[in-house]
Amino acid sequence: MSSFEVLLMVCSFFAFIALQVPVAIALGTVLFLCYYIMGFNTIELVMDAYQSLDSFPLLAIPMFILAGTLMATGGVAKRILGLADEFVGHLPGGLAIVTIFACLLFGGLSGSAPATVAAIGAITIPEMIKQGYGKGFAAGVTACSGVIAILVPPSNPMIIYSLSQPGTSVSAMFLSGILPGFLLALGIAIPAYWVSKKNGWGGTRAAGTWGTRGKAIYEAKWAILTPVIILGGIYSGVFTPTESAAVASLYAFIIGMFVHKEIKVTKIFDILSKSAIMSVVAMFLIPFAVALGKLLSSQQVPELMTHSLSGFMDGKVATILLIILLLLFIGCFMDTLASIIVLTPLLYPLVSQYGISTYHFGIILIVCLGLGFVTPPLGGNLFIANQISRTSVQSVFIGALPTLGGMLVAALLIAFIPQISEAFL
């Protein structure tokens, strides 16, 4: 594959995106054209796409999506919010900080950024607006907080990255994301506190007593047990990450139906339908993205890209900074899961020469692409928060800018301090 053909493929893809063609269809069409122009048998494209879905670890994604939907409907999100509110709700910007740490906790159950924004934001955004917070800020801080879900286990992008990078363990990737997830939450919380204090938002309720906090912990005990069951089962060897997703779904159903009693029989079809739609959106991207990765590898595009960029990458620091800028740009236009599959074989050879481990690189990739959830024009979290807050997307983005700045600082710390990602390995 020549440089001209690579450039033509990239330009064609972004032309489709500009015409608002869905990413999966744009990717599949560009791949078909490439196979045809290069004289390859297009049946190979179909076979590669089909075989990419024949993967046991991939089953974890729809199961974790189902688990997250069940927990959001079954009262788990509400109890997590109550727990966070007892500990930090009295601070300036208390409800915003509650939202951040509720997203951290709920992200450890769902693994999906949009699902986390929908579950937590549906409760906190209207309440923040009711308490006098700016609409754009309330929606923006929630949109940013949802990104934490893809850094803490069981993150769907981590599962995809592990499948895209041979020899990478899903369990080890989960461990790599724990400290970065907390750091990202802190990076959002600090500017949220500062903006809220400056504007006089929050800080009106009394601090929770240890009695009320103990009660909140007791009420949220089933939610707190979920990550213990998921991660404990994985690392004790009782079940695999994929099996843990099925266990999480069953556990969420039992808790929502028989313990909290907030999942009614009449809601089950809606829960399954919503989960199926979210799963199809994610899974539709994967076959074409995997096929593209195979095509690029077979045509030695990673080597071509390395050679072309070598003049701009003078040392480890310059290389990491250039890759971060590239990831931030691509995250604005391309879905995170598809980007991970396409970019992993292209970019890892550029950083591996500097001793960056596959796990550290995976976290850099995920956190930088994750910022795309809150940057237009794609910005999936922005649109969900916009629908909940009933304000414009522009207002949500402007409201998110302070916390987005904190996220960028956290991303840079994660990129240049490998110990943050490798502390538990």
Determine the structural domain holding residue 213 and report its residue range. 57-282+301-422
Q: Is residue 413 part of a domain?
A: yes
Left (φ > 0), alpha (ψ -120 to 50) or beta: where does 165 sit? beta
Reported pTM:
0.81
Q: What are phi and psi of 167, to 5 degrees?
A: 85, 5
Q: Is residue 320 part of a domain?
A: yes
- Predicted confidence at residue 96, as pLDDT, reads 93
Q: Comparing C-alpha atoms, which of 281, 288, 285 is closest to residue 45?
A: 288
Q: Is residue 227 part of a domain?
A: yes
Q: Is residue 5 part of a domain?
A: no
Q: Is residue 44 part of a domain?
A: no
Q: Is residue 183 part of a domain?
A: yes
- Predicted confidence at residue 387, as pLDDT, reads 84
Q: Is residue 274 part of a domain?
A: yes
For every one of its 425 residues, what pLDDT tens digit does the chain have, with 9 covering 90 and above?
566 666 777 788 778 877 877 767 887 888 888 888 888 888 888 887 787 777 777 788 888 888 888 887 888 888 888 888 888 888 888 999 999 998 998 887 777 888 888 888 888 999 899 889 999 999 999 999 999 999 998 888 999 899 888 889 999 999 999 999 999 999 999 999 999 999 999 877 777 888 989 999 999 898 888 888 888 888 888 888 888 888 988 998 999 999 989 999 998 999 899 888 877 776 777 777 777 767 776 777 666 666 666 666 678 888 899 899 888 888 887 778 878 887 888 888 888 888 899 999 999 999 999 998 898 767 778 888 988 888 888 899 999 999 999 999 999 999 999 999 999 88
Peptide bond before 154: cis, by omega within 30 degrees of 0?
A: yes
CB neighbours of 312 closer than 8 A, spacing ≥ 6? Answer: 318, 322
Rounded CA gap, 15 and 120, in Å? 35
- Predicted confidence at residue 303, as pLDDT, reads 63
Number of domains in the chain: 1
412 burial via Cβ count (<10 Å: 0-12, 13-18, 19+) = middle
- Predicted confidence at residue 136, as pLDDT, reads 94
- Predicted confidence at residue 307, as pLDDT, reads 66
Q: Residue 334's beta-bridge partner residues? A: none
- Predicted confidence at residue 312, as pLDDT, reads 66
Q: Is residue 77 part of a domain?
A: yes
